[in-house]
Amino acid sequence: MSNGPWTDAENDLIVADYFAMLSADFAGQSYNKVAHNRDLQTQIDRNRSSIEFKHQNISAVLRALGEDWIPGYKPAQNYQGTLEDAVVRWLELNPGWLSRIQDRPAMGLREAAQLWIGPPPTLSNQPPPAELEQTIATARKFDVAERDERNRALGRAGEERALAHEKAVLAGSGRSDLASKVRWVSEEDGDRAGYDIASYAPDGRPRLIEVKTTNGWERTPFHISRNELAVADERRADWCLMRLYHFAREPKAFELRPPLDAHVSLTATSFQASFH
């Protein structure tokens, strides 16, 4: 059995095998991890435990890339850059993958129940430093936040899901009168308002909600515009950011209220150049 670094050919084989299982998982189809491992052993010169750990490495890469992973393969860090490249290579060769898994949550949105709204990530619940550092480095290298921002289908589906949630909360609180007034501002008026949804708290207070959606975990980075930050500052009592994550599998959310730099590190990624 080989104990050396994994070759590109080996990485490509195990990544393809992983996505075959992940595809079955999303489709609700049964698959046998032991059988997949045994089959890989006939194709590459690696033992069972090495293949098992590499599957866990792939989970860690997908988490860093803001994608979902197989629940049975707990993300394991200390993966090599060549494995990152193999996962990205597979995604580039299979461009339909992202759009395919993003179609799943769109079903039944109008009848959807309320979202699970939990606490946001904090320093106290962050992963170990080395693990977090590698995850952040991968997300930055492949600009995960920019990819999610460009994905209009994902963003729109997230906003629609948040809209259904807001209406369900109000209806469940006996405020159907307010539920009927909730507006999808970005859809009706465009995205210049600095928020996506104009809603209400059950007591009638306004809620201006900017929705950010990812298929990844709760710490996946996101983009926020200068205008959104300005509106957040101007309307601090009303504005909030609703972060939807694990969207393709089982959408969950948390909310951040201004000032945002109390929760996240804001990094300038582009600059406007004006003539003197």
Assigned domain for 209 exists: yes
Rg (CA), the chain: 21
Range(s) of the domain holding residue 26: 8-97
From CA 24, how far away is CA 89, in angstroms rounded? 20
Strand ranges (E), 31-171: 116-118
Q: Tell me: do 131 and 237 sit in the same domain.
A: yes
Identify whether 1 is part of a domain.
no
Q: Using CB atoms within 10 A of its CB, is residue 203 exposed (0-12), middle (13-18) or buried (19+)?
A: exposed
Same domain, yes or no: 159 and 213: yes
Confidence class of residue 140 from pLDDT cuts 50, 70 and 90?
A: confident
Check whether residue 54 and residue 140 sit in a common domain.
no
> Is 271 a member of any domain?
no
Question: What's the pLDDT score for residue 107?
Answer: 44
184 and 242 part of one domain? yes
Q: Give residue-wise pLDDT tens across range 80-136.
A: 999 999 999 999 999 888 765 544 444 444 445 789 999 999 877 788 887 888 888
**Per the domain annotation, does 105 fall within a domain?**
no
Specify if 43 maps to a domain: yes
Contact 155, 73 (CB under 8 A): no
pLDDT band at residue 156, thresholds of 50, 70 and 90? very high
* Each residue's pLDDT tens digit, 48-62: 999 999 999 999 999
196: in domain: yes
- Tell me, rounded to whole angstroms, the distance of Cα 159 from its chain centroid: 14
Q: Are residues 189 and 143 in the same domain?
A: yes
Structural domains in the chain (count): 2
